[in-house]
Structure 1
């Protein structure tokens, strides 16, 4: 269905859409994010059409409504991580909206909507973010809370460098593992002192656009002070936003 409609976007022809939907690398994160952004853009471009009840065939209208719901879901989980102008409250409102939309869709359609593993993983992302913010508000409420720090990228990077040091010998004894971890931390120290030397990791990047690849707490423009976010209120606002989407 997406292959049929995404070609309506001026930036995508049939070949480009096929490449988005069937990437050579299943773990190509930038390609996945590009696909999500394309779906969101397409849905927004069709809002005026959906508002006109007599402008489309019944089947086409049903397809566009389905894509619109998918777009709302994707926007809820993606926007908090890439829109640097959002405040912490707005970020958690989006996450709350995602949690409620995902639950509603999964409750209605189960595995035809998404796998059990993916549902668990994405809801765990939201849960961990909420728990981490609550802990930050308790420990140091005036500190800035950057949502990107909640993930396990640092652990993945450390594991990758530890494995890289072993070369073709990925197995190691306890003593070798300690030595390799020490060497990996030394490499981390060098890159922290000289970030221009760090080439980054292709599969941990969000997109191939320079501005999004290097999103970090230093360039975040929104107010992300932990004490400025009323977490229960943001959660309720996210729920209300999800309900308004489902009702319409």
Structure 2
């Protein structure tokens, strides 16, 4: 299905990388559903700026009832069915390696929190989207991952473990849902320059990453978001269960 004919749900779509994803799909003519948790003012502004093409709906993706209500709101607004979901929502995390707990003291509760957001949230959104996908006979799922489980240069133990589990979910769901013409893929970035989550990162870290990439630059949220367009587009109709690393060539996949 062409992007101009699609209704795309972006979780955590009001700010940071989510905002870049939202802007990319709007630019290509899609209708966008922006899910947000606490960024109500920003989400309201986005909806006012894009009348008829963007609907902002509050929901905690960790809560299945709230996710179901989100999809109901899309239907009530006459914007459904949802054709693509982008699982981008990030639960309370700051990308500052110096301030993160190390292996000797990180609590299991930190892992649980990230698993509930990354894996639990994705499961809730995908399952809630299935009636929409089945209505139109196809669907696209794009999960947002990280290159850190291939190149763990900073001690984001909880975040990295949850994203690695999300990659496993991507592959098993791709196999299970493929016969229904539903594709499930992942895009894995490194540190992005700059999002709300990476704002605490020291400049020297950005410079070091840039020096280690073939492109000699740190990937921007806008560059990363463009890749999601591919997975949602007809050009990716035969691609599923894949993890595409988008980090300027820092990690060779």
- Same fold, TM exceeding 0.5? no
- TM-score with structure 2 setting the length: 0.24
Q: Which has the larger radius of gyration?
A: 1
Q: Which has the higher contact order (CA 8 A, sep 6+)?
A: 1
After TM superposition, the score normalised by the length of structure 1 is 0.24
Higher strand share: 2
Higher helix share: 1
